[in-house]
Amino acid sequence: MKKILYFIFVFTVFLQCENINNDTDDNESSAPKDIIIQIQNDYGHEIVVELWSGSNLDFHEGEVLGDNLQKLYTETNLDVLKLAVGEFKEEFYTVSSDKSTLIIVGIPENDDFIYVTDETFEEYPGSSCVIIINLNGQIEIKLI
């Protein structure tokens, strides 16, 4: 009886350690592809947008957290991307399919950019996508 209990115990230990090892070995899927991203403002108010790429992305109290964190813009001298009401941004942003994209949306007010909402996308519906900020402040990603 004692032996059986012992082997159950050792087996549990083995499974637990194996689980930890598996958590770090998740990068062996198919080769990453380039994903083209565009942005559309359907919010009904001028917005400012930041796009971040990386993994384990998170936005909390004005701070962006993530592994291999990278801001996606190509514009120079711009902290944020401004989009007028109903504007569809023609420029493309490219992100790798194995990375997540964090979009932070705000509105300009005097010299400040006031936070509205954010969303992280870990999967993409296709290789060309549009991120839409709708009238209710919800952020959705669709195939172009």
Partner 1 sequence: MKINVVFRRKEILNILIVVSVFLNIHCTKVENDTEDTRDVNISAIQPKDIFFKNTERINQLNPFPGQTISSKSTFTFEASSVTYGALLIFNKLPSAENLEKGIIDESCIAGVSNIASHDWDGRTVQLSNLYKCLPDNTLEILSKTEKVYLEGGSYYWIVLGYDDSFALTHSSPALLFNYQ
Contacts with partner 1 by CB under 8 A lie at 2-3, 6, 9-10, 12-13, 16-17, 20, 43-48, 50, 52, 54, 56, 58-59, 61-69, 71, 79-80, 104-107, 109, 112-117, 135-137
CB-side neighbour CA atoms (13 Å) of 98 = 10
Q: Which residues contact 63 (CB under 8 A, 6 or more apart)?
A: none
- Between 114 and 143, CB nearer to partner 1: 114
Shortest approach of partner 1 to residue 94 CB, angstroms?
20
- Alpha carbon distance 125, 137 (integer Å): 21
Q: Looking at beta carbons only, is 31 or 135 nearer to partner 1? A: 135
Minimum CB–partner distance for residue 128 and partner 1 (Å) = 26
Q: Which is nearer to partner 1, 56 or 94 (CB)?
A: 56
CB of 53 to partner 1, least distance (A): 12
Q: Could you tell me which of 136, 135, 105 has the C-alpha nearest to residue 120?
A: 105
The stretches of 97-140 forming alpha helices (DSSP H) are none
Query: Judging by DSSP bridges, how do beta strands 81-83 and 93-96 pair with one another?
Result: unpaired
Q: Which residue's CB is nearer to partner 1, number 37 or number 139?
A: 139
Are 101 and 53 spatial neighbours (Cβ–Cβ below 8 Å)?
A: yes
**Least CB distance to partner 1 at residue 81 (A):** 10
Nearer to partner 1, 70 or 127 (CB): 70
Residue 143 CB, nearest distance to partner 1 (Å)? 26
β partners of residue 113: 108
With a CB cutoff of 8 Å and minimum separation 6, the contacts of 27 are 98
